[in-house]
């Protein structure tokens, strides 16, 4: 299986490593967006180990190093192109750096290409490439375009004029990721003799949108990762801050990062919260058994409380101690909120509404009577009441106006939550009986017929996301082609895989061994946001079917974030969503003065100055040319270009840039039309076959 994180890591490091200036050392410059892309897949050590002496932010005031060449990894937007041009002004005898190697994460528009290649910076440019990696790697099987504003563009009537451009952008970015994964797979096959003769399966990209399953974005989820992100203030799904008591008895805040580098988290992220405690204690006992220094007279722990006490006596294992302590705290906090907010009782009603059946498999005939006490209960939060009412409206196919108003009044709903409920109609949900949205022919509470061998899940986790069902049908070859038509030739079905059950899980996901991936790759893209329950479902399908499945979206959402977005959907966000890359401001004339070769610029904070929360400067101190020992080249580094999936823009014999045809549109004109490009400057062969292995549904 090709990990998205590893594929992106290899593309970034390979691209930086392919730049080999005569001075050996180089400087890397990132803009705010590429900084997020790089940090999603790489550590700072990875970059600094490639003969990089300094990493800086494009938007910051930077010191000039005119004896070193710079590698710019940039977003192809006006702001970053203009800031790049400011580094090499026309009225200065030197630029900020000796030369520029420019790597764009996506194709550069013709107007920006012309502007860049006709500017004074063009004489400094030695490399100009498009890398096709405009996304962040969230997990090994999960990616994001980091575009929460897409939700409004896709569904808000106030953003109707922007819809076509948004859909075009999403399609292009999805294809870039598909091409990157394909090139990594082909590179792997070429380097492994035992796979060289095998027939490669044809991959498929399945594109859905958020309206396909509103329920998944609302209903409470009780697996560890999803529940923690729903109930706790975890920033970007990875950053969590909580208070602990130190040795002096004082309370201090601790911030932790929760991602796949944390093996404890990886083992339990998809476990049901009921299993999490037993899983943590089991893993901890195994950890103690494997480390003789911990054995002594200590007994095995039997509970989270017992485990917390024993962790206090392990100063020599600080890293593992911190990880276990973090997840003990998170699990206990989730259970506290679960009980205090009555989610344990509320969740049973939600599951009846979401699945259309009771725990015993019967039609839920008294669901309204079971709902009313929660709507009238002051201990149930307004957010949870809104979620419950939304589920009721979805399963009932809308409500009469007087019934809806009566329920809203009973719940004492805030105006924001009322607006969120009304805006469900913009996602195709019938909010009113007799409304304009088409009525479903499916009767409310229609029960799902269970397979005889299907394992009964937890009572609070019976809902199966629509995305999982759709992928199941695709793999089994039963997906309705009229609803999900192929845009290219349909892939050959692997009949051996199609006969296996996808829903039967004999043991928790955390206990399963690494999947034996086979068959064609399947990429799922959900425009408008993907939930943690849908992410978990794809991991489960990968394990149960042994298929290479990747899932991504415009952004990752939790139920709370989804409802916050819903309340502004009709009018659009009250405040514009701040762009990742700050708006461009022309530099003050005094700031454009450049020192002589190798001399530092005086004044001005570096990228790590006040208010900057991006990648910190690395290698600060003496100018790079004054440093002594050179960092050795990593063994095995050939210095060659990374594998396919990128375009190199070259210069003709006269030194003018010639742009190859755009991958999405008509051929570009050269920067100077009076000098047509030579015939040998054709697009690289890998660009011609980018559609060979992937089709759209």
Region of 647 on the Ramachandran plot (φ > 0 left; ψ -120 to 50 alpha; else beta): beta
Distance CA 544, CA 409 (A): 46
User: For 446-487, what is each residue's pLDDT tens digit?
Assistant: 444 454 445 556 888 999 999 999 999 998 889 988 888 877
pLDDT interval class at 165 (50, 70, 90): confident
pLDDT over threshold 50, residue 490: yes
pLDDT over threshold 90, residue 352: yes
Distance CA 326, CA 257 (A): 10
Closest CA to 387 of 614, 541, 256, 220: 220
The answer to whether 179 and 690 are in contact (CB under 8 A) is: yes
Range with the lowest mean pLDDT among 168-182, 517-531, 547-561?
A: 168-182
The answer to whether 430 and 398 are in contact (CB under 8 A) is: yes
Average pLDDT over residues 16-35: 95
pLDDT over threshold 50, residue 587: yes
Q: Residues with Cβ < 8 Å from 496, sequence gap 6 or more?
A: none
pLDDT interval class at 26 (50, 70, 90): very high
User: For 245-281, what is each residue's pLDDT tens digit?
Assistant: 776 778 889 899 999 999 999 999 999 998 888 888 8
Query: Residue 63: CA atoms inside 13 Å, Cβ hemisphere, count?
Result: 24
Closest CA to 584 of 85, 27, 115, 64: 85
pLDDT over threshold 80, residue 36: yes
pLDDT interval class at 565 (50, 70, 90): very high
Q: Residues with Cβ < 8 Å from 282, sequence gap 6 or more?
A: none
Average pLDDT over residues 384-401: 93
pLDDT at 8: 94
pLDDT at 300: 59
User: For 372-386, what is each residue's pLDDT tens digit?
Assistant: 999 999 989 999 999
pLDDT at 83: 96
pLDDT at 355: 92
The answer to whether 28 and 56 are in contact (CB under 8 A) is: yes
pLDDT at 258: 93
What is each CA distance from 259 to 2, 5, 267, in whole angstroms? Answer: 18, 12, 11
pLDDT over threshold 90, residue 530: yes
Average pLDDT over residues 613-639: 37
Distance CA 160, CA 238 (A): 33
Three-state SS at 262: coil
- The H or E element that residue 343 is part of is helix 343-355
pLDDT interval class at 201 (50, 70, 90): low
Q: Residues with Cβ < 8 Å from 405, sequence gap 6 or more?
A: none
**Bridge partners for 203 per DSSP:** 694
pLDDT over threshold 70, residue 503: no
User: What secondary structure, in 3-state letters, does 501-567 show?
Assistant: CCCCCCCCHHHCCCCCCCCCCEEEEEECCEEHHHHHHHHHHHHHHCCCEEEEECCEECHHHHHHHHH
pLDDT at 649: 78
**Mean predicted lDDT score pLDDT of the chain:** 77
Which of residues 371 and 248 earns the better pLDDT score? 371
Q: Residues with Cβ < 8 Å from 197, sequence gap 6 or more?
A: none
By percentage, how much of the chain surpasses pLDDT 90?
45
Q: What is the DSSP letter of 235?
A: B
Range with the lowest mean pLDDT among 74-78, 189-193, 254-258?
A: 189-193
pLDDT at 608: 36
Distance CA 552, CA 525 (A): 5
pLDDT over threshold 80, residue 110: yes
pLDDT at 140: 95
């Amino acid at each position: 299986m090709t990990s998205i994180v590893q594929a992106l890591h290899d593309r970034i490091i390979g691209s930086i490593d392919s730049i080999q200036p005569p001075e050996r050392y180089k400087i890397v410059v990132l803009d705010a967006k590429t900084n997020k892309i790089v940090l999603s897949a790489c550590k700072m050590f990875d970059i600094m180990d490639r003969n990089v002496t300094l990493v800086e932010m494009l938007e910051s005031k930077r010191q000039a190093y005119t004896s070193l060449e710079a590698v710019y990894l940039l977003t192809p937007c006006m702001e970053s192109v203009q800031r790049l041009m400011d580094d090499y002004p026309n009225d200065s005898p030197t630029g900020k750096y000796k030369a520029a190697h420019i790597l764009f994460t996506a194709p550069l528009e013709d107007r920006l290409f012309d502007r860049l290649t006709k500017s004074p910076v063009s004489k400094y440019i030695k490399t100009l490439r498009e890398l096709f990696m405009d996304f962040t790697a969230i997990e090994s099987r999960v990616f994001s375009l980091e575009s929460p504003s897409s939700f409004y563009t896709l569904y808000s009537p106030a953003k109707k004029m922007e819809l076509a451009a948004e859909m075009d952008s999403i399609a292009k970015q999805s294809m870039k990721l598909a091409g990157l994964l394909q090139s990594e797979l082909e590179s792997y096959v070429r380097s492994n003799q035992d796979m060289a003769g095998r027939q490669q399966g044809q991959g498929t990209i399945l594109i859905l949108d958020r309206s396909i399953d509103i329920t998944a974005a609302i209903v409470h989820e009780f697996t560890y990762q999803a529940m923690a992100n729903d109930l706790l203030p975890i920033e970007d799904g990875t950053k969590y801050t909580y208070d602990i008591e130190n040795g002096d008895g004082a309370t201090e805040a601790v911030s932790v990062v929760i991602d796949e580098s944390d093996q404890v988290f990886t083992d339990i992220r998809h476990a049901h919260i009921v299993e999490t405690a037993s899983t943590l204690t089991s893993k901890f006992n195994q950890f103690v058994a494997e480390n003789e220094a911990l054995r002594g007279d200590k007994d095995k722990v039997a509970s989270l409380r017992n485990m917390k006490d024993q962790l206090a006596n392990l100063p020599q294992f600080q890293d593992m101690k911190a990880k276990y302590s973090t997840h003990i705290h998170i699990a206990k906090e989730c259970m506290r909120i679960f009980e205090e907010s009555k989610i344990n009782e509320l969740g049973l009603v939600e599951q009846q509404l979401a699945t259309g059946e009771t725990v015993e498999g019967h039609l839920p005939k008294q669901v309204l009577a079971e709902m009313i006490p929660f709507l009238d209960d002051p201990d149930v939060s307004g957010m949870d009441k809104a979620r419950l009412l939304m589920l009721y409206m979805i399963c009932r196919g809308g409500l009469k106006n007087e019934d809806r108003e009566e329920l809203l009044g009973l719940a004492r709903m805030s105006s924001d939550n009322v607006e969120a409920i009304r805006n469900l109609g913009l996602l195709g949900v019938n909010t009113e009986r007799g409304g304009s949205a088409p009525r479903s022919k499916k009767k409310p509470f229609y029960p799902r017929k269970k397979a005889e061998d299907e394992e009964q899940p937890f009572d609070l986790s019976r809902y199966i996301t629509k995305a999982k069902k759709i992928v199941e049908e695709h793999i089994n070859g039963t997906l309705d082609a009229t609803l999900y038509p192929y845009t290219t030739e349909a892939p050959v079905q692997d009949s051996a895989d199609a006969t296996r059950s996808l829903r039967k899980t004999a043991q928790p996901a955390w206990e399963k061994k690494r999947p034996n991936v086979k068959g064609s790759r399947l990429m799922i893209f959900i425009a408008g946001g993907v939930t943690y329950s849908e992410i978990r479902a794809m991991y489960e399908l990968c394990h149960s079917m042994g298929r290479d499945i990747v899932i991504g979206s415009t952004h990752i959402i939790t139920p709370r974030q989804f409802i916050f977005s819903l309340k502004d959907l009709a009018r659009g966000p009250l405040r514009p969503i701040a762009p990742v890359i700050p708006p461009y401001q022309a530099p003050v004339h005094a700031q454009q003065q450049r020192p002589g070769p190798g001399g530092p610029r005086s004044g001005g904070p570096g990228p790590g100055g006040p208010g900057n929360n991006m990648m910190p400067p690395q290698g600060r101190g003496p100018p790079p040319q004054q440093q002594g020992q050179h960092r050795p080249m990593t063994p095995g580094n050939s210095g060659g270009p990374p594998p396919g999936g990128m375009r190199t823009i070259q210069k003709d014999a006269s030194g003018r840039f010639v742009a190859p045809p755009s991958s999405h549109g008509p051929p570009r004109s050269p920067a100077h039309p009076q000098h047509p490009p030579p015939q040998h400057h054709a697009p690289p062969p890998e660009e011609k076959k980018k559609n060979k292995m992937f089709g759209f549904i």
